[in-house]
């Protein structure tokens, strides 16, 4: 199960880096992506699923906040 968490954390890191490179104007997306990267690295180091779940939740909220501000 440890490898599954590590693969999912690596995917989260890739998504977060992609979101960082696309739009640097949105502070919420930038902060959410950085938090997600840190929590994914913690998941890879520790092998637990809790930081991964929190990182995904933070990233999704940041994407939703960024999307809501663009649709105005």
Within a domain: 29: yes
Closest CA to 30 of 39, 20, 38: 20
pLDDT digits (tens, 9 = 90+) for 48-69: 999 999 999 999 999 888 776 5
Within a domain: 55: yes
Which structural domain, as residue segments, surrounds residue 31?
Answer: 2-67
Within a domain: 38: yes
Q: What sign does the dihedral 51-54-57-63 (CA atoms) show?
A: negative
Give residue for tokens 């649709």.
Answer: 71
Within a domain: 19: yes
Rounded-to-integer distance, Cα 10 and Cα 34, Å: 14
What is the 8-class DSSP label of residue 62? H
pLDDT digits (tens, 9 = 90+) for 5-38: 999 999 999 999 998 888 777 888 899 999 999 9
């Amino acid at each position: 199960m440890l490898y599954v968490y590590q693969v999912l954390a690596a995917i989260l890191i890739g998504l977060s880096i992609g979101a960082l490179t696309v739009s640097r104007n949105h502070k919420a997306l930038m902060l959410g992506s950085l938090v997600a990267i840190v929590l994914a690295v913690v998941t890879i180091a520790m092998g637990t699923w809790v930081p991964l779940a929190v990182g995904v939740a933070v990233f999704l909220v940041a994407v939703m906040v960024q999307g809501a501000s663009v649709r105005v």
